[in-house]
Amino acid sequence: MCEAVELHAIALSDYVGDGAFYSVSGMLQRSGLYPSPEVAREVAGEAEPDCDVAPVTTLDAGGPQTGPVRLLWLDIEGGEFQALRGGINLLKGRRPLLVMRNWRGRAATQYGYSADEFFDFFQDVEYDLYNLIGFDFRRKDWTIGGQPGWCFGVPRENMVLKGTLHGMIDHVVEKYGISEMICC
């Protein structure tokens, strides 16, 4: 493994301590640091989730303390917003490109936050949001069906990164067409 990569067996959220981590055997995509057993059972569907105590940290407390952070990639089964709230100093100070999977209303319901809290957070840390195909991701898009679950967060002042992001998307669309891009 690359020397620049450090692995930690720890959950990310907006607090430091211990948390209930619910795991579903054979379905890691349904496992997570859910706020209650009821939510864990709802997400698990037919399966019964196991609950273990897991160490929890924030991006600010457990993330890299020095050097650049160029990219922050989060796909943690609905807990992305809590992890970002725990990394507010990292986002404000280090300004990485953010790539995040978030299922908007579903994740917000499971983790107890609103669309307003979500978008206000990004306004406060001065990040612009784009969906996977490069369009602005705004409050009005929160409930629109068919929106990609992945989005980018770009520091508002970083015009080069915004241009590069749109340039990459334009290249893929030109080469493969919009329908191919949405399907892959």
Question: How confident is the model over 20-78, as pLDDT tens digits?
Answer: 888 887 777 778 887 777 777 777 777 788 888 999 999 999 877 777 888 888 888 88
Domain extents in the chain: 64-183
With beta carbons less than 8 A apart as the criterion, state whether 17 and 56 touch.
yes
Question: How confident is the model over 86-109, as pLDDT tens digits?
Answer: 999 999 999 988 888 887 887 888
Rounded distance, CA 14 to CA 88, Å?
9
Please give the structure tokens belonging to residue 18: 């211990």
Mean local confidence (pLDDT), 3-11: 75
User: Would the pLDDT of 148 be above 80?
Assistant: no
Backbone angles phi, psi at 136, to 5 degrees: -55, 135
DSSP H helical segments within 18-156, as ranges?
A: 37-44, 59-62, 80-85, 88-94, 105-111, 115-124
| R_g (Cα) of the chain, nearest Å | 17
